Amino acid sequence: MSAAPAQDDRTAGPGSTAAAPVGADVPGASVRPPGDGPRPRIVVVDYGVGNRRSVEKALERAGADAVVTDDRATIAAADGLVLCGVGAFPEGARRLRESGLDEVVRDRVADGTPLLGVCLGMQLLFERSDERGGAAGLGLLPGPVQGLTPALGLKLPHIGWNSVTWSEGTTSPLRAGLPDGAAFYHVHSFVARPEDPADVVARGDYGSPFVTAVSRGHVHGAQFHPEKSSTDGLRVLRGFAVACTR
């Protein structure tokens, strides 16, 4: 489960457990477009789940031409795809499957198109989830999605800012030059458990370590919400946008 962010009118930021306001613009300065060439065309795949417009706005600020759509022709012409989402894995997987967009996404990935999964979207990249009796995912990355195991006294879902540690030597575009200790906004009760340690880009800690970013080839995922993670979140999205121009 990747829960919908709670409403809160407090100012949220790294080191705070306050919830980021729903639909709020990402704080911090906009990030320059990637390079001197044309802005990459990135589609936020619309399968009816998640804060799609917030992700679209953040991608624009990170230097992309972004659009939310389920139109097959527009998806086929995109330089990159983003699959976001909140809520329970089985419901997200069902909506993606019934829309037929699961096969569209798989086909674009097979063609070499960069894909970024965000929050529930990252979980859907994997083979299956144990949530609510279980469901199959896209199978683009090997491994299951299982319940987060917090330390005694920590509540679920995990909601708030969490610093991350990047895997040594990672070349993932999601790192985007960010240092260890960069903080990102998380809302989730389940986590991916990649079978291949080489797929792990970054880990957070909520009483025990959990995987919060992954990359394999041109398939990437962030358990956190970059669109709600201030300037560092924009840098992650810019890193993905740059990857979409190669």
Tell which phi-psi region holds residue 201, choosing left (phi > 0), alpha (psi between -120 and 50) or beta: alpha
**Residue position matching structure tokens 């995109």:** 78
Of the ranges 7-21, 35-49, 201-215, the best mean pLDDT one: 201-215
Interatomic CA distance for residues 63 and 59, integer angstroms: 6
**Catalytic residue among 56, 60, 131, 227, which?**
227
State the pLDDT at residue 11: 29
Q: pLDDT value at position 101?
A: 98
pLDDT above 80 (res 241): yes
More confident: 17 or 242: 242
Average pLDDT for 204-225: 97
Q: 14 preceded by cis ω (within 30°)?
A: no
User: In the structure, what pLDDT confidence band is assigned to residue 128 with cuts at 50, 70 and 90?
Assistant: very high
Question: E strands, the chain, where?
Answer: 41-45, 65-69, 80-83, 115-118, 126-129, 135-136, 141-147, 158-163, 165-166, 183-188, 190-192, 200-205, 209-216, 219-222
Q: Is the pLDDT confidence value at 16 over 60?
A: no
The SS3 call for residue 76 is helix
Cα dist from 187 to 57, 125, 229, 235, whole Å: 20, 18, 12, 20
DSSP three-state, residue 177: coil
Does 84 participate in catalysis according to the annotation? no
The whole-number pLDDT of residue 12 equals: 38
227 belongs to the catalytic site: yes
Residue 18, CB half-sphere, CA atoms under 13 Å: how many? 11
Nearest-CA neighbor of 218 among 128, 101, 129, 106?
106
Amino acid at 205: D
Structure confidence at residue 50 (pLDDT): 80
Whether 15 has a pLDDT exceeding 90, the answer reads: no
* % of the chain with per-residue pLDDT over 90: 80
Mean pLDDT of 49-68: 95
Average of per-residue pLDDT values in the chain? 88
- Can you tell me the distance from the alpha carbon of 118 to that of 138, in angstroms, rounded to the nearest whole number? 14
**What are the residue boundaries of the structural domains of the chain, listed by start?**
41-243
pLDDT for the residue numbered 34: 53
User: What CATH number should be reported for the domain whose range is 41-243?
Assistant: 3.40.50.880
Model confidence band, residue 9 (pLDDT cutoffs 50, 70, 90): very low
What pLDDT, on a 0 to 100 scale, did the predictor assign at position 3? 54
Active-site hit among 56, 60, 84, 119 = 119
Q: Is 225 assigned a catalytic role?
A: yes
pLDDT tier, 152 (very low <50, low <70, confident <90, very high otherwise)? confident
According to the model, what pLDDT value does residue 153 have? 85
